[in-house]
Amino acid sequence: MFDRLKTLYELQKIDDQLDELEELRGDLPTAVESLQERISQIKNEMADKEKQREESLEKRQGNEEEIEKLQANQKKFKAQLYQVRNNKEYDALTKEIDHTEEQTTKLLTENDSLADQSKILADDIEKIKPQLEELKEELKIKGADLKEIVKANEKEEGKLKAHRKEIVEKTKKPDYSAYMRIRKAKKGKAVVTIKRSACSGCHNIVPSQRQLEIRRNNKLFFCEYCGRILVSPEISEQADA
């Protein structure tokens, strides 16, 4: 049992060191991640606008071709006007001419608004571009900072992780799950000792009877206030030695 408790304490010690390394990174990992997200958002937004612009351009070209056809037809109809033989033919032709005129006007108006839309989209894209560049630059700097910190501690972290693995292998499965559960809930410390008669995790006094029991090192004890695993000073002294 003594070894079982000692193993848990050692696991905590390793995790404390790993946490310290993690802390060195500060908010860089989160910052880098949110920059990456923002950049991909903006890229999508830009691609979307580009696509709309292309579609608008295609539609305009289609309309222009249509207008050309309409105008050619109109010219033909106008020429035919000179050859009409009766009022009925004349009316039919003028009706056609009016119709092509209407269609042309409609398409021209549509093209005007498509051109306006394209202009707005182009302006938007131009406005977004520097934003994107700025974010990319920021990401470059923060990413490099993070990489540097990670690299500086790579060896140490690797060693600690390897050591942690060994300890985890020695840890009993239920102990490990309890440890991980408490560690998550308490954001770090799951195994603590008694210091000056108090739980070093929450600083509440541990009753003396309980302290005696804990000192026997023959059972897993949890602090009745914070729920952390409480080990005797002997365990910590041995593990720290």
Interface with Zn ion, residue 2, by CB under 5 A: no
For Zn ion, the closer of residues 67 and 214 by Cβ is 214
User: What is each CA distance from 146 to 97, 127, 142, 151, in whole angstroms?
Assistant: 71, 29, 6, 8
**Residue from 18, 66, 139, 225 that binds Zn ion (CB under 5 A)?**
225
- Segment contacting Zn ion by CB under 5 A, of 133-141, 144-152, 208-216, 224-232: 224-232
List the one residue out of 44, 23, 30, 38 whose CA is nearest residue 143: 30
Do the Cβ atoms of 230 and 15 come closer than 8 Å?
Answer: no
Q: How far apart are CA 194 and CA 190, in angstroms?
A: 13
In the complex, what is the shortest distance from the CB of residue 190 to Zn ion, in angstroms, rounded to a whole number? 11
Interface with Zn ion, residue 191, by CB under 5 A: no
In the complex, what is the shortest distance from the CB of residue 227 to Zn ion, in angstroms, rounded to a whole number? 7
Do the Cβ atoms of 199 and 230 come closer than 8 Å?
Answer: yes
Interface with Zn ion, residue 223, by CB under 5 A: yes
Q: How far apart are CA 176 and CA 11, in angstroms?
A: 9
Interface with Zn ion, residue 176, by CB under 5 A: no
Do the Cβ atoms of 118 and 56 come closer than 8 Å?
Answer: yes
Site string for Zn ion, 200-219 (x = CB under 5 A): -xx-----------------
**Residue from 93, 190, 191, 199 that binds Zn ion (CB under 5 A)?**
199
Q: How far apart are CA 14 and CA 133, in angstroms?
A: 41
Distance spanning both ends of the chain, measured CA to CA = 19
Interface with Zn ion, residue 226, by CB under 5 A: yes
In the complex, what is the shortest distance from the CB of residue 191 to Zn ion, in angstroms, rounded to a whole number? 11
Interface with Zn ion, residue 182, by CB under 5 A: no
In the complex, what is the shortest distance from the CB of residue 213 to Zn ion, in angstroms, rounded to a whole number? 15
For Zn ion, the closer of residues 46 and 198 by Cβ is 198
Please identify which residue in the block is written with the tokens 């021209």.
108
- Residue numbers at the binding site for Zn ion (CB under 5 A): 199, 201-202, 223, 225-226
